[in-house]
Amino acid sequence: MRIGKGLFRGLIRLEPFDIACNNISMGKAGLDKILVVDLETTCWEKRQRGQIMEVIEMGVCLLDIGSGEITDRQGILIKPVYSAVSEFCTKLTTLTQGQVDAGIMFREGCLKLEDEYQSKKRVWASYGDFDRRQIEKECRLKNVPYPFGSRHINVKTLFAIKHRLAEEIDMDKAVALLGLELIGTHHRGVDDAYNAARIFWSLI
């Protein structure tokens, strides 16, 4: 399938340096496995002015692009600083304030991604662009170094293009379109990352 350059905006992000040094970075960046990430954040049924969304779970896994095997699945709980887990948020994610209070700080979570998943070296993917935008915003807010490299794949957009859909669709609908079922609890990062990896594998 031939895709015009314009469709790559927000789908696969490549900095000029990466493109110019493609033969170098591609060989050393760990393209054997893709890091798949799903973030859960504090949220409200009706968000009020001044309320800050913060990451409360980093769901991660590695997708082997040779075999399709999904490994190193983990849900990293993050303690919010400027917000609290609402009743609405608990109903959506199942996460409680007590659970995230026992988690690690956002900075530690980002370091964990770098140390355990080589996040700065690997291409990473998420279902939609929310995760990329949220972590960029929170890194700026908390003065934390960005834990990823410049190459991000938007699986949601890629899925819509591949299946020639009129619009992008939610994860549960994408899984159903593939004749599969969601595994685990929807809106838990650890499970949504796994399901996003399954969707991505269907596109490779």
CATH number at 156 reads: 3.30.420.10
- Domain hosting 167: range is 28-203
Q: Does any domain span residue 197? A: yes
Q: Does any domain span residue 15? A: no
DSSP 47: P
Q: How many domains does the chain have?
A: 1
Q: Does any domain span residue 118? A: yes
What confidence tens digit (pLDDT) does each residue in 150-166 have?
999 999 999 999 999 99
**C-alpha to C-alpha distance for 104 and 88, rounded to whole angstroms:** 22
What confidence tens digit (pLDDT) does each residue in 137-195 have?
999 999 999 999 999 999 999 999 999 999 999 999 999 999 999 999 999 999 999 99
What is the model's pTM? 0.86
Q: Does any domain span residue 75? A: yes
**C-alpha to C-alpha distance for 55 and 95, rounded to whole angstroms:** 12
What confidence tens digit (pLDDT) does each residue in 7-46 have?
444 455 544 434 333 333 334 557 899 999 999 999 999 8
To 10 degrees, what angle do helices 106-117 and 130-142 make?
120
Q: Does any domain span residue 60? A: yes
Average pLDDT over all residues of the chain: 89
- Per residue, the 3-state secondary structure of 101-166, as one string, reads HCCECHHHHHHHHHHHHCCCCCCEEECCCHHHHHHHHHHHHHCCCCCCCCCEEEHHHHHHHHCCCC
Q: Does any domain span residue 107? A: yes
Q: Does any domain span residue 79? A: yes
Q: Does any domain span residue 3? A: no
* pLDDT reported for residue 23: 35
